[in-house]
Amino acid sequence: MKKDFLTLRDLSVEEINAVLDRASELKSGKDVSARDRVVSTCPLIGKSIGLFFEKASTRTRISFQTGIYQLGAQAVDISPGESQLGRGETIEDTAKVLSRYLHGIVIRTFAHDTIVKFAKNASIPVINGLTDLHHPCQVLADLLTIKEKKGGLKDIRLAYIGDGNNVANSLIEASALTEIDLVLACPKDHAPDAGIYETARSEGAKVKLLIDPEEAVKGADALYTDVWVSMGQEKEHEKKKQTLKGYQINKGLVSLAKADAIVMHCLPAHRGEEITNDVMDSPQSVVFDQAENRLHTQKALLEMLISS
């Protein structure tokens, strides 16, 4: 039976831990010395995985393309403008057809309903490379990064500062599944999805929504931010900059967290807006480790969903 990864909740706690453990193993290069190197390092040999991207991408596209190649499979780029979707073919029909050719597909799109509809009509695993509502692949990499830097996830205090966007939504789900102590500081009109937040709270997740960023970062083990204006929201740039100008991760804010706190950003960063140069380039910054970990966690995820 095929398994999709549309939100973090599509994996059980045990599966998340398995992905993180396998990602660490892949990152360490332990497989290189395995007796059957081809089977061990190329579990997807002979398979084809589609990449359907409606949004621009650097990390998601390159990390998936590289990871697919390293696992022995081929990546098939599917451009919306060059496929029949651009001429009116339905998502449902496209999903059914591509399921006959591919062994899995990564979709990066705007409306979350698009990927849900595709998955319902596909007989192959569908992976969410990003939607406006969720960014689960990013958060898998975030979890691996925190685990590497802090030795574990349970009771780690993570302060997310800024726009309550898709990353914030997926971090809320992560808190429910991993026992991370998550505090979000967002302006009232830019809070995370209420349904996702309330569901996590009802399940006993240690997640709290605040307005004051200084209160949120007190005692934090990790500080996290993202761009103030997501793709597709460019017309709101100046307005959101004014609303979020007090939600910048800078030296002053970092000083209120624990002395050994790490600073995280999913990239791309708008330096000087949500994060300052001196913080982004400081020894506490782990943003480029996060970016690298996209490759390792996604390889582990692909192996779990597609090799079986």
Determine which helix (DSSP H) or strand (DSSP E) holds 165, and give its type and residue range: none
pLDDT at 86 over 90: no
Of 182, 171, 231, 129, give the one whose Cα is nearest residue 9: 171
Among all residues, which ones are annotated catalytic? 108, 135, 138, 226, 266, 294
The 10s digit of each residue's pLDDT in 141-163 is: 999 999 999 999 999 999 999 99
How many residues does this entry show for the chain?
308
Count of helices and strands (H, E) across the chain: 13, 9
Amino acid letter, 233? Q
Give the angle subtended at the CA of 26 by the CAs of 25 and 29, to the nearest 5°.
90
Q: From CA 69, how far away is CA 206, in angstroms rounded?
A: 38
Q: Which two tokens stand for residue 66?
A: 């590289």
User: Which DSSP symbol is given to 263?
Assistant: E
Crossing angle of helices 287-306 and 13-28, in 10° steps, is: 110
Task: Give residues with Cβ within 8 angstroms of 165, minimum separation 6.
Answer: 192, 226, 230
- The pTM score is 0.95
CA atoms within 13 A on the CB side of 173: 26
Range list of β-strands (E), the chain: 48-53, 74-78, 104-108, 126-130, 157-161, 181-185, 207-210, 222-225, 262-265
88 falls in which pLDDT band (50, 70, 90)? confident
pLDDT tens for residues 14-35?
Answer: 999 999 999 999 999 875 544 3
pLDDT, position 34:
44
Match 């999913």 to its residue by tokens.
266
CATH homologous superfamily for 138-290? Aspartate/ornithine carbamoyltransferase (3.40.50.1370)
Q: What are phi and psi of 136, to 5 degrees?
A: -70, -30
* CATH of range 8-135+294-306; options 1.25.40.10, 3.20.20.80, 3.40.50.1370, 1.10.3720.10: 3.40.50.1370
Contact call for residues 142 and 264 (beta carbons, < 8 A)? yes
Residue 70 phi, psi dihedral angles, 5° rounding: -65, -25
Supply the DSSP symbol for 82. Answer: G
Query: Tokens in use for 58?
Result: 């650097």
* 3 state SS of 225: strand
Which of 48-57, 91-100, 231-240 shows the lowest per-residue confidence on average (mean pLDDT)? 231-240
pLDDT in tens, 211-251: 999 999 999 999 999 999 876 667 777 889 999 999 999 99
Q: Which whole number is the average pLDDT over 65-75?
A: 97
For residue 30, the Cα-to-chain-centroid distance in whole angstroms is 25
pLDDT at 115: 98
pLDDT in tens, 200-210: 999 999 999 99
pLDDT digits (tens, 9 = 90+) for 276-308: 999 999 999 999 999 999 999 999 999 999 986
* CATH 3.40.50.1370 in the chain, residue ranges: 8-135+294-306, 138-290
